Structure 1
Amino acid sequence: MLSTLINAWKVPDLRKRMLYTLIMLLIFRAGSHIPIPNIDASIIKDYLKSGQLLGFFDIISGGAFRDFTIFAMSIIPYVNASIILQLLTIAIPSLEQLAKEGEEGRKKIAQYTRYGTVILALIQAIGLTFGLKGAIVNPSFINMTIIVLTLTAGTAFLMWLGEQITDKGIGNGISLIIFAGIIARIPSMIATTFKYVSGGTTSFLGGLGFWIAILLLIVSVVVMQEAQRRIPVQYAKRTVGRKVYGGQSTHIPLRLLQAGVIPIIFGLSIVGFPLQIAAFLPNTTFATIVNRYFNWNSFAYNLIDFILIILFTYFYTAIIFNPIEVADNMKQYGGFIPGIRPGKPTADYLTRIMYRITFVGGVFLALITVIPILIMSATGLNVAFGGTAILIAVGVAIDTIKQLEGQMLMRHYQGFLK
């Protein structure tokens, strides 16, 4: 990875793109320290201690939510809008047709995603402003309106920033903004570890074991992120006029973590919802019951989260991977899996393989979510980190390096042709 970055830096065009990306990310980090007026940040920090859902927002935003800055909502509304558009593309035929129209169709869907982002950001900003009303110093209509508009504008600006990085920089801009927010939390995590160890809250071995466990989790995520089942495909020879086509062997790469982090986000949103409602209604019977029997490190909370993640992994994989469509495309171009007849038998075979892979991937995603909680309970360290953050950070880092390698390879070919 380091050698790839060094080699890319030596290429003038790539160096320019890398510097542009770095400047845009520095602007994001600078904005993450501009607070929204009339907010008592200490009350926000008390809310964060009550559950994982707002804690997840804080990790993704790189601490901006904790201090309730202009980028407190980060790019989460954009991610939600993208997921909703992806689901609607499957359900609505006109959107599905639009997605198949190539570059123009993708531009139109991207435009719908921008509109959806602004709408969702406005709704989320209103929800946060009213939900965190106790943290507003003077909760007048004018002040609350300013907070809502500031949060919405902050998300819209980050969306624009991400698109600029994608067009003029390196990698996917939206993903890199999330990546920068996660990485920005590492210094505070190290400082918190030292604070716990020096204060006697946890032992030196406990702090050391905590970071060793994180490194092991990162290694396991890298391995599983790249793991795939390759289905061999043979294409029969076809004669068109005097030319012979086909007769080649290839494979279908079925990734183990096909669904990515989406199942974790879905599961966390559902199990974390009662805790956040309890945080907004502190002095009620509902809050007492939830905090006693369903707090973030309880057995019931983690068991339900574990099961939901596996179920959502199956659900989302079924949406993004269509075995019938793959089998039909193979049949259309004369492809077949050795030993399997084209058509429905191929679709059934791919479905069976996908179910097995999805189960392994779902269990891994569930474990990567639950294990950090167990580690924090065992070591006594209350450090905000999770498997979702590790998955996102590793995935973005791998994709960005692959894009850099692709850019360098393309330039080497161009130089050879010249």
Structure 2
Amino acid sequence: MQAYRASLLRFDSAGQPVHDEDGLVVVGPDANGRQRVQDAGTYAAVAARHPQVPVTHWPGRIIAPGFVDMHIHYPQTDIIGAPADGLLPWLENYTFPAETRFADPVHAAEVAEVFLDELMRNGVTTSLTFATSHPQSVDAFFEAAQRRRLRMMTGKVLQDRHSPDGVRDKAEQSLIDSEQLIRKWHNVDRLGYAITPRFAPTSTDAQLRGAGELAAKYPDTWIHSHVAENRDEVRWARELFPQARSYLDIYAGFGLMRERAVYAHCIHFDDDDRRLMRETGSAAAVSPTSNLFLGSGFFDFEGADRIGYRYGLASDVGGGTSFSPFTTMMAAYYAGREGQTKPGVSIPPSQLWWRHTAGAARALGLEGVIGNLQPGCEADFVVIDPKATPLIARKTALAANLEELLFALIVLGDDRLIERTVISQALAG
């Protein structure tokens, strides 16, 4: 058992922030030896309940849940900021050439280490992550994550058509490889497998049908793909699958929409698409820096909230431009203000934070497991220094309430705010 004292940020079951200016979080092993939050609240109340537990005090710091990134590509670490006219040219000119190198397990292992270092440095403790079409890219990622005791999800990308040599696979073998990887890695330690069609245009009917069969056979796996990101992509998908009502409906027709199905972007939706997301329990990974960078459009926060389907925030590196959750939250604020069909919505800072922590965990089907500091949650958290730079120190000192404090961190913050990342009592950064 170990206790940590600082200002404490967590969330209640309604997604509202709970802030203890002088807080204490107690962590310790569960029956299986996994470190979990045992108690959390004000220092006075919690310390009285655990008088024998040693306390590490971080005065002037904020303890907050580790961030959860709902959609990111580890093989695209080296192509952040690559210029392109839009999504499809960017894939052709940068993404696919970079991903061909992941046939080499040495290269895959090297990038996995760099990628996880960046996540930890930025306070991201869980991510739903794209690998490549090469099984060795999945092995490399899981091996690196397992050594660090991280809760991470990934899977072999499925793409058996409209893809260049070097990343294109074959439907039958891709499904055999996927099932072998599920049996090898899913639910091992803190790892989870994601069945991962790249996006509908790069898979044949046979591959998508097989992916749906795997999803039914292994219902606690994740499904991870892209949908409705770019108007040219939407037109292409509709041409390839004319029987589907919409781009999203393609996935429904192959049994690829259910709990733990996560679709990145979800920009060009109508209300029927939104209802389909809600009714199937699928979730959107909102990727605002990527959408802005590639000129794809704006996620409709008002539409998502009105219909009531799950969504959370994601960096989408390397289309996204930063590993930092603060950059992602700031971009989401911009998109909410500017990108609506109705007058823009001003998303409260605490809700932006929730969408990148406990809200993202809920969208992933991991509510009560990660993304929060309530009792029972796994003990992944960050220690934030609200005086990390002179300007941030000046601005946070002027904050009159929690919302002003969180917004100052979002607007001005980057990796310098993250003083420590704690993974089951292992310190990083």
State the TM-score bracket (shorter-chain normalisation).
under 0.3
Compare the two structures and name the one with the higher strand fraction: 2
State TM-score, norm by structure 1.
Answer: 0.24
Compare the two structures and name the one with the higher helix fraction: 1
